[in-house]
Amino acid sequence: MIKIDFHIHTIKTDLDSAFDFSLDKISEYVQKKKINAIAITNHNLFDRANFDLIKIHLKDVAVYPGIEVTLEGGHLIVVAPFTKIEEFEEQCKKIHDEFKEKNDISLDFFMDIFSNHEEYLLIPHYDKNPKIQKFILDRIGSSFICGEVCSPKKFIRLYKEKGTLTPLLFSDMRMADDIPLLNKQTYIDTDSTDFYSMKEAIRDKEKVYINDKKKRDLFPILDDGTLASSGLNIIFGKRSSGKTYTLDRINENFDNVKYIKQFDLIEKDKEAANKKFDESMSNDRSIYSDEYLAEFKEIVNNVLSINYKEQETKLSDYVSSLVEFAVDMDNHDAFSKVPVFSEQKFEYVIDKKPKNIIDSISNLLDSGTYEKIINKYISNENLIKMLNEFVKIHREKKREELICKQANELIDKIQRALSIESSQNAIPSFDINQYATDVIKKNLFVKIADIIKKPKLLLENQIGKFKIVAKREPFGSAKELQNFVGKKGEYSSSYNLYDNPFDYLNSFEDKPHIQKDQIYKYFVRINYQVLNANGYPVSGGERAEFNLEKNLSDAENYDMLLIDEPESSFDNIFLRTDIVDKITSISKKIPVFVSTHNNVLGGNLNSNYILYTEAVNTADGTMFSIYGGNRENKVLTSVNNTQIKNYVVMINSLEGGEESYVERKETYKNLKD
């Protein structure tokens, strides 16, 4: 058996967060994890100098040249035999140059550059984001013998599924000094690190594992080779025996882990806990409120951008001038009688849609990477026809716009000349269509503002026995409004106009302490709260229960869940009725580790695997031993092949020993009878 990691980054590219490569870290990594072969796979780049430095430094490890290509939006790892390194280096230069120009590599370009791809090992992101698209898998076909996954659970699932590629699990690490060493590598059932020997072994699913014991449902969680199940694991042990220490080490060895630590949910300081909970709920309310009011915000900002007072003044001047001009018609001189003297300018709308559509069609025609997908639904020929038609429309619109613009400039010039010679005042220009549009906007805003103030249940989210509820409610007083705004000032004058949305909106204009971009929030209050099973706001004790429920509901977004002694925070009834089933359900999707000495959890959680921790005092200090095995095993075994009876572990951990168990059993029997 050999251990490999063919996904390692050593050079920062535009697709990486900042990191400084450490030669010492990669050396530490291969030594601690006992890795036999690695591949250097930077994003769209093969740096020969960096590769040679690593290969020389890691004398006892097979180091292969590789690259991670951004192919049609997905990622593909290409690993080459060392004998092909010169050719591979030239191919990677072309990939690097193409990516710099286009930020993606098309399949056609890739196939042209890597025409000899059968000689390499191609490893697509298979059950890992960003995934390689199916049409690429179909086109390259038999050259794909394996695919990378992101977690042990997915490795095991894909191994069991028929018709899937051989799954491989790699670290995808950026080799910097400050990063933890992840436990994500693949074992191959071969004794050789020769490129072609490994490739041939990978071709056979049965020769690939994620542990060196060839056990299909287990994966290594610690550097010493300690195994655990990809399902539900229970960690037992006496106090200070290493349960939390073990969870901490698991957390360090994997990424994207949800870790619910011991006492995290307990309210040690009630006042601080209440404050923390309120802050969390306030943040959630703010996020929900912003999302809900996003469209109303646009409407408010649009109305605020219109100067209605100025428009009313212009309208009044326009009407007065028009009436005066008509009444005094008999006294007009030769200059004012010229029709163009009282002519209004031509109105025109700048229509940007045709140009936007032209740009969109042009992007489709110049898609490069996605051309084949687009052509599955619409041909280039039809796209070009559509483009030509919109170009004609755009030209006609621009022609009309130009004619109106030039005509208006000419009218303006003539009117100024006539006004100089005439004793009659000219009628001022006024865009009555724009005025009408703005009035309609104002009236629609008023209607929407009236609607949005009406009480309404917006959200009812069930999390365990709790509900997250969001309600829309109007402000009931100026004091409520002030408390919501959170700034000192006079609010009565504004609140008195609350039933007149437009006047209410304008009332904030002269308040220096009010931010204009926040005014939309002052029309309605979003009441966001957590209710218990009886429909009342949660109490102090219930808040801890809700926090656990919320953490568990969020766990499926992670690759692993760790829970350290949840019984420290909750009573047994809650654990049995509300938590056991949830933890079991989560373990069917991701690996779960629960540290406990509680008989409700330990007894009711039907775990796949048991880990027992034991502290051993030595001359060098306290050492921790871990014994593991399936729940039904008679004995649990350590990595050193020492054993302990499972019955002893269970009875001591859950019942305080056999004697205590017998006594309690007898007591319960007597009470029942």
248 with 195, same domain: the answer is no
- Point out the domain boundary residue: 408, 423, 438: 423
- Domain ends where: 365, 388, 423? 423
Q: What is the pLDDT averaged over residues 136-140?
A: 92
Q: What is the pLDDT of residue 341?
A: 62
For residue 658, being part of any structural domain is answered with: yes
Q: Which of 423, 438, 456 is the last residue of a domain?
A: 423
pLDDT higher than 80, residue 270: no
Residue of higher predicted confidence among 377 and 450 = 450
Predicted local distance difference test score (pLDDT) of residue 421:
66
Find, among 213, 132, 193, the residue nearest to 165 by Cα: 132
The answer, yes or no, to whether residue 223 has pLDDT greater than 70, is yes
pLDDT at 451: 95
pLDDT of residue 427: 65
Q: What is the pLDDT of residues 162-192, one digit of tens each?
A: 999 999 999 999 999 999 999 999 999 999 9
Query: How far apart are alpha carbons 346 and 587 in whole angstroms?
Result: 70
Say if 452 falls within a structural domain: no
Is the domain of 336 the same as that of 404?
Answer: yes
Structural domain boundaries, residue 374? 329-423
Look up the CATH number of the domain holding residue 176.
3.20.20.140
pLDDT in tens, 495-550: 999 999 999 998 988 787 888 888 999 999 999 999 988 999 888 778 888 888 88
Residue 333's pLDDT is 64
The rounded distance, in Å, linking the Cα atoms of 328 and 323 is 9
66 and 112 housed in the same domain: yes
* pLDDT at residue number 564: 92
Say if 464 falls within a structural domain: no
Share of the chain above pLDDT 70, in %: 93
The 3-state DSSP class for residue 657 equals coil
- pLDDT for the residue numbered 327: 64
51 and 192 co-located in one domain:
yes
- List the single range of 132-141, 169-178, 183-192, 427-436 with lowest mean pLDDT: 427-436
Co-location of 134 and 250 in the same domain: no
Is position 197 within any domain?
Answer: yes
- For residue 226, what are the contacts with CB-CB under 8 A and spacing of at least 6? 220, 611, 626, 628, 639
Nearest to 202, CA basis, from 144, 116, 152:
144
Check if the beta carbon of residue 231 is closer than 8 Å to that of residue 220: no
| Number of domains the chain is built from | 3
Residue 585 has pLDDT above 70, yes or no: yes
The answer to the question of residue 460 being in a domain is: no
C-alpha 485/C-alpha 57 separation (Å) is 62
8-state DSSP, 144: B
Residue 574 has pLDDT above 80, yes or no: yes
211 in the same domain as 75: yes
pLDDT of residue 325: 64
Question: Per-residue pLDDT for 299 more than 60?
Answer: yes
Q: Is residue 642 part of a domain?
A: yes
Residue 328 has a pLDDT of 64
Please indicate, yes or no, if residue 335 is contained in any of the structural domains: yes
Instruction: Read off the pLDDT of each residue in 461-465 and give the average, rounded to a whole number.
Output: 88
* pLDDT score of 269: 62
Q: Tell me the mean pLDDT in the region 211-232.
A: 92
Task: Give the SS3 label for residue 368.
Answer: helix
Q: Are residues 190 and 247 in the same domain?
A: no
Residues 48 and 178 in one domain: yes
Are residue 133 and residue 190 in the same domain, yes or no? yes
pLDDT tops 70 at residue 83: yes
User: What is the predicted pLDDT for the residue at 96?
Assistant: 96
Mean pLDDT along residues 255-270: 78
DSSP type of residue 577: I
184 and 70: one domain?
A: yes
Of 314, 306, 290, 313, the closest CA to residue 506 belongs to: 306
Any domain includes 492:
no
Co-location of 113 and 207 in the same domain: yes
Residue 36 scores a pLDDT above 80:
yes
Judge if 183 and 37 occupy the same domain. Answer: yes
Quote the CA–CA distance of 25 and 631 in Å, as a whole number: 38
Report d(CA 670, CA 664) in Å as an integer: 10
| Peptide bond connecting 130 to the previous residue in cis, omega within 30 degrees of 0 | yes
* β strands within 356-465, DSSP E: 456-463
SS3 593: strand
Please give the residue that has the higher pLDDT: either 235 or 490. Answer: 235
